[in-house]
Homo-oligomer: A and B are copies of this chain.
Amino acid sequence: MAALTLQDLAERLGGTVSQADASFAIAGVANPEDAQPQDLVFLVEDKYLDAIEACAAGAVVARAPVSGKATLVVKAPREAMARALALFAPQQPAPQCSERAAVDPSATIGFGVSVGPNVTIGARARVGRGTVLHPGVVLGEDVQVGEDCVLYPNVVVREGCRLGDRVIVQPGAVIGSDGFGFVTLPDRTHLKMPQIGIVEVQDDVEVGANVTIDRATIGTTVIGQGTKIDNLVHVGHNVRIGENALLVSQVGISGSVTVGDRVTIAGQAGIAGHLTIGADTVVAAKAGVTKSLPSRVMVSGFPARPHREELRRQAQIERLGELADQVKALQAAIAAIQEG
């Protein structure tokens, strides 16, 4: 890609570049602190303007021309950055099917699928065209994986689960583990509730590294189209996540929760079982949600409540020392009145 000029980039991303800047040859993309003169940087927020101006990079993508740099002017620099980085990303390896993979003869493998070493594909599994299965991936019996997916090393998809198209699964994630379901008998031992349902991961979902998504007891655990899940998130059995939701790292979603479209749940938050979270709602980091939530609210704290209430509550606690002082002063004043 070393031959890409700023004008080439403008043609691919849209945006405008001055005649003088058009022939700038982009050696690579960089953060400002690491940039070399032939590198391209991105001004995604105005607050970084000083850092961008001061850096060594010769070219920038920004909303307006930056003095001293060849500038590609675009309306949405962050979106342009995403589209530009895709041009500089390492390409997926050419399709291959490793001799060291264990593919059941009854499995159906689409055209152009890449199957890495030590991959296991179970009976009757189906893998759509263009999908990449990195080394150590395990697909159980009857698993379905759509087209143009990427499953990174050591991902496990247990029997019967289904992934849509363009799903990306980071290394070590587990899809379809048994839900945590037991019946406690009179002798206080726990009888396992068999988990005979599946997980359905819809199109364009991304699943983070070492995430765990449990299969339903009966029926289907659903991750809706376009939802993105960060690392080490737990999704319990029979959970239904809507479309384009964001689950940040280390979030825990208990069993049978329903999460609406475009919900954001920030890091280390937890949702108790059987609740419903309305669409477009935001749950702040570390919050613990103990009741169902309507749409379009932001909650924080534990137990979680509307964020403004939580802030007011925190402010009241901050003033506790002052309040205690006021009570002491009142006690003294009353004592003075009573004595005088």
Within 8 Å by CB of A158, from B159, B171, B232, B249, lies B171
* A163 CB–B CB distance under 8 Å: no
* A49 CB–B CB distance under 8 Å: no
* A85-B217, A286-B302, A326-B327 known; A154+B183 contact, CB < 8 A: no
CB-defined contacts of A51 to chain B, threshold 8 Å: none
Closest B residue, CB atoms, query A39 = B218
* A111 CB–B CB distance under 8 Å: no
* Contact between A136 and B160, CB atoms less than 8 A apart: no
* Contact between A196 and B89, CB atoms less than 8 A apart: yes
- Pick out which of these stretches binds chain B: A8-16, A63-71, A74-82: A74-82
* Contact between A78 and B183, CB atoms less than 8 A apart: yes
Nearest-neighbour CB distance to chain B for A195, whole angstroms, equals 8
* Contact between B250 and A234, CB atoms less than 8 A apart: yes
* A183-B78, A212-B209 known; A160+B218 contact, CB < 8 A: no
CB-defined contacts of A193 to chain B, threshold 8 Å: 78, 81-82, 85
* Contact between A249 and B180, CB atoms less than 8 A apart: yes
Closest B residue, CB atoms, query A262 = B188
Identical chains bound together, number: 3
Closest B residue, CB atoms, query A182 = B228
* Interface of chain A: mostly helix, strand, loop or mixed: loop
Q: Mark A25-49, 1 if CB is under 8 A from B, else 0.
A: 0000111011000000000000000
Number of A residues, CB within 8 Å of B = 110
* A171-B156, A183-B82, A209-B212 known; A285+B267 contact, CB < 8 A: no
Within 8 Å by CB of A337, from B232, B285, B337, lies B337
Within 8 Å by CB of A136, from B118, B196, B252, lies B118
* A148 CB–B CB distance under 8 Å: no
* Contact between B154 and A156, CB atoms less than 8 A apart: yes
* A178 CB–B CB distance under 8 Å: yes
* Contact between B29 and A196, CB atoms less than 8 A apart: yes
* Contact between B234 and A231, CB atoms less than 8 A apart: yes
- Pick out which of these stretches binds chain B: A125-133, A291-299, A310-318: A310-318
* A308 CB–B CB distance under 8 Å: no
* Contact between B334 and A330, CB atoms less than 8 A apart: yes
**Chain A, 272-303, CB within 8 A of any chain B CB:** 272, 285-286, 288, 302-303
Extra 11 A-B pairs, beta carbons < 8 Å, given A82-B194, A120-B153, A252-B268: A76-B183, A89-B196, A90-B159, A90-B160, A136-B138, A138-B154, A170-B174, A249-B252, A249-B254, A327-B327, A337-B338
20 A-B pairs whose Cβ atoms sit less than 8 Å apart in the complex: A79-B183, A81-B183, A82-B182, A82-B192, A89-B196, A102-B118, A117-B118, A134-B138, A168-B178, A172-B174, A172-B210, A182-B246, A188-B244, A208-B212, A212-B249, A249-B254, A268-B288, A286-B302, A330-B330, A337-B338
